[in-house]
Amino acid sequence: MAADLSPAGRRKSRLRAELQLLAARYGTVNSDQRDGAWIYVPHFPLPRGWNKREVEILIDVPYGNPGYPHVPPEWFWTDRKLAASDGRPISHFFNQRSQNYRNYADRMYLDKGWGHFCVHLTAWRPAAGLRLREGHTLLSYLDLIATIFRDRRTLAGW
Amino acid sequence: MVGVTVEIVFTTAQWADLQSHLLSLGSPRTAGSADEQMAFIIAGPSASAKGVRLVVRELVLAEPGDLARRSSAGIAPTGEFVAAALTRCRQEGWSLIEVHSHPFSDGPATTFSGIDWANDREKMPALARLLPGNAVHATMVVGQSSLDAHYYDRETNTIRPVSRIVVHGARGNAPVLEWIYPVHAEADGKVFLDEARHTRQMSFMGSSAQAAMVQSAVVIVGLGGLGSFAALECAHLGIGTLVLVDPDRVETSNLNRLIAVTDADVGRAKVEVYADLVRSVSPQAHVIPIKSSILSDEALHLAKQADLLLGCVDSHGARLVLNQFAVQYGMPLIDAGTGIRMNGEQAARAGGQVQLVLPGLGCLECREFIDVKQAAFDLAPPHVRQRELEHGYGTGQPAPSVVFLNGVVGSLQVAASAMLLAYAESAGRGGSIAGITLYDLMRQSVVPASSAASDTCPTCGPDGITGLADLSPLEAAVTPPAAPAVTVGPIQSDA
């Protein structure tokens, strides 16, 4: 089959390969079939300490060119009603509208029940081509998300 | 940048592999063989107002089974070999270059035989109909010490000479830029050398080096402290065409380091200020100011016509764009940056670096020089940047910057540029430029460092973007125009 070398075509091809890895870990996973601009993990398990056993995770995939995988994801979205079991606030988690509610992203997501976590990566060495186990991928990013949910510093007061 | 031209751009590794295959170099089995050999070259087209650069992606070397006939009198590929190359070009959009050797030709005038011409006259119009609209079909013949090349011009239905072969990369750790002219290349015309103006540097670098600089087009991205030095020094050197790219205007806080700028320039676009200054230094220079980011259509279009890119940016997003552009379009990039690290009110470290991005030397990504956190913010669509700023991210104090640090590093960058361009006309020989130059202001030291390519780099490695050119255009991420693109369930499952 001929390769689609357009930026969206290359990104979608990469995501198709990565989704195989994600599916092996998380079961069903979905991605944006049109632009390759997001992936969705419906059943992401949470450790103890949260008010849920699992959450949905939505990751914005950087879609310019340069975009993913050269540019890592910055934020991830999850259930707006996610809370710590003991009620402590969650650091870097935004489930309220910003002051400027005209903000496009807030309108897009918060009204649909999503809250967003800020994750700024400082090291990112993306896997080349289809040698996905030799570098960073969305699986690495989801591993980081799992670490955030395990890390007690995610909750205020630590 | 006058007239429509076609160039073919190789990496040094591709060029060495091609020559070795065509001329049986280093092969005991066929050493001394006078039989012709052939290969197909898959190349990405880079189209601009100047013409088309064919940026080589891959060599498809003919094996014995791919040849229907081979002797010292001629060579012919099998239909299957041709069909496979054509199909790939048709389906994916690549341009196709057919190359064969005349190993018996060891003089300076290797060119197509009468049989070659007859074949091309018959074959090229037919292939033009089979290839995608933007694809170019060229043929090349390579001898022991010279070559010739031509392409089919669809608009005029004629076969026209290829203007130049560009070979860029590294031999060992030494950066290489080499311009090779096919035997029947049309000359651009006489190059005017202003000897009265440049005599002192011509006695140092030579007249062919000066001619190379006069013929060169250099794009300077970023007209801050570094870019201001780069622009003016390029003007003094006599660079023929300078494209200046920066979206910003001069602010009062820039006056400590923008060389030659005055109070009266505050509020003017930086590129306009430096276009005027460059013209006042070098009236013969063709100066094009572009008041936009490098990701604008206009800036990218002009960058495709350049011979060299100078990165003088303080944004890691822009640096990532330049790095990708350089690898994807086969364009030498010399990136520079400065930094001052404070410890309280004292400068703990201060210095800068000049880095060449050329095939075989690695790139800014595999050197892990890109700050991915900053790049992700810089390259995010406007609505995401707005969200980040509203939540307190993406802001920061302006970094310290001083004119003398910019001056030293900017001059090191221009010195590397001059060396690279100067020796392009003399088979890439004679230069001795470091892949990376580190300047430590506190120690007053300049240290050259070598670099090497990484096989696992997603940009310049074997699975990277070399030669994709216009097939995967660079583009800014924009905010989706209408309803949210995100809908959660039911969505078709991929897995």
User: By three-state DSSP, how is residue A132 classified?
Assistant: helix
Residue percentage of chain B with pLDDT more than 90: 77
Closest CA to B281 of B214, B318, B233: B233
State which residues of chain B have pLDDT below 50: 1-2, 28-31, 483-495
Nearest C-alpha in B relative to A9:
B472
pLDDT of residue B383: 83
pLDDT value at position A86?
87
Q: Which are the contacts of B84, defined by CB distance < 8 A and separation ≥ 6?
A: none
How far, rounded to the nearest angstrom, does the alpha carbon of residue A9 sit from its chain's CA centroid? Answer: 20
Strands B346-357 and B436-440: antiparallel
Report whether B377 contacts A72 (CB < 8 A).
no
pLDDT (tens digit, 9 = 90+) per residue, B223-246?
999 999 999 999 999 999 999 999
User: Count of CB contacts below 8 A, A vs B?
Assistant: 160
Task: Check if the beta carbon of residue A29 is closer than 8 Å to that of residue B494.
Answer: yes
- pLDDT for the residue numbered A156: 61
Give me the residue spans of the domains in chain B: 5-180, 195-471
Asked if the Cβ–Cβ distance from A66 to B324 is below 8 Å, we say yes
Per the CB < 8 Å rule, is A34 touching B475? no
CA distance A146 to B488: 21
Distance CA(B29)–CA(B33), nearest Å, equals 9
pLDDT tens string A1-58? 688 999 999 999 999 999 999 999 999 999 998 899 999 999 999 999 999 999 999 9
Closest A-chain CA to B481: A104
Q: How many C-beta neighbours within 10 Å does residue B320 have?
A: 26
Distance CA B63, CA B76 (A): 12
Residue ranges of domains in chain A: 7-154
Q: For A85-127, what is each residue's pLDDT tens digit?
A: 888 888 888 877 665 555 555 666 766 788 888 887 888 999 9
Instruction: Determine the distance from the C-alpha atom of residue B215 to the mean position of all C-alpha atoms in its chain, rounded to a whole number.
Output: 16
Q: Check CB contact of B324 with chain A, cutoff 8 Å.
A: yes
Which residue of chain B comes nearest to A27, CA vs CA?
B495
Q: Do B492 and A30 touch (CB under 8 A)?
A: yes
Show the beta-strand stretches assigned E in chain A: 30-31, 38-45, 54-60, 75-79, 93-94, 114-118
pLDDT at B25: 63
Pick the CATH number of B5-180 from 1.10.3470, 3.10.450, 3.40.1710, 3.40.140: 3.40.140
Rounded-to-integer distance, Cα B41 and Cα B64, Å: 17
Q: What's the predicted TM-score (pTM) here?
A: 0.93
Cα–Cα distance between B360 and B354 in angstroms, integer?
17
Cβ–Cβ contact B46 with A under 8 A: no
Q: Check if CATH label 3.40.50.1110 holds for domain B195-471.
A: no
CA-based nearest distance A47→chain B, Å:
24
CA-nearest of B476, B282, B274 to B381 is B476
pLDDT at residue number B205: 86
pLDDT in tens, B121-172: 999 999 999 998 889 999 999 999 999 999 999 999 999 999 999 999 998 8
User: How many residues appear in chain B?
Assistant: 495
The mean pLDDT value of chain A amounts to 87
Residue A2: the pLDDT is 80
Test B388 with A126 for CB contact under 8 angstroms. no
Mutate: best of B88, B478, B479, B486, partner A, most A CBs <10 A: B486
B467 to chain A: closest CA residue: A5
**pLDDT at residue B252 in the model:** 97
**Cross-strand pairs, B175:** B170
> Phi/psi of residue A139, each to 5°?
-65, -40
Tell me, letter by letter, the H, E, C secondary structure of chain B. CCCCEEEEEEEHHHHHHHHHHHCCCCCCCCCCCCCCCEEEEEEEEEEECCEEEEEEEEEEECCHHHEEEEECCEEEECHHHHHHHHHHHHHHCCEEEEEEECCCCCCCCCCCCHHHHHHHHHHHHHHHHHCCCCCCEEEEEECCCCEEEEEEECCCCEEEECCEEEEEEEECCEEEEEEECCCCCCCCCCCCCCHHHHHHHHHHHCHHHHHHHHHCEEEEECCCHHHHHHHHHHHHHCCCEEEEECCCECCHHHCCCCCCCCHHHCCCEHHHHHHHHHHHHCCCCEEEEECCCCCCHHHHHHHCCCCEEEECCCCHHHHHHHHHHHHHHCCCEEEEEEEEEEECCEEEEEEEEEEEECCCCCCCCCCCCCCHHHHHHHHCCHHHHHHHHHCCCCCCCCCCCCHHHHHHHHHHHHHHHHHHHHCHHHCCCCCCCCCEEEEECCCCEEEEECCCCCCCCCCCCCCCCCCCHHHCCCECCCCCCCCCCCCCCCCCCCC
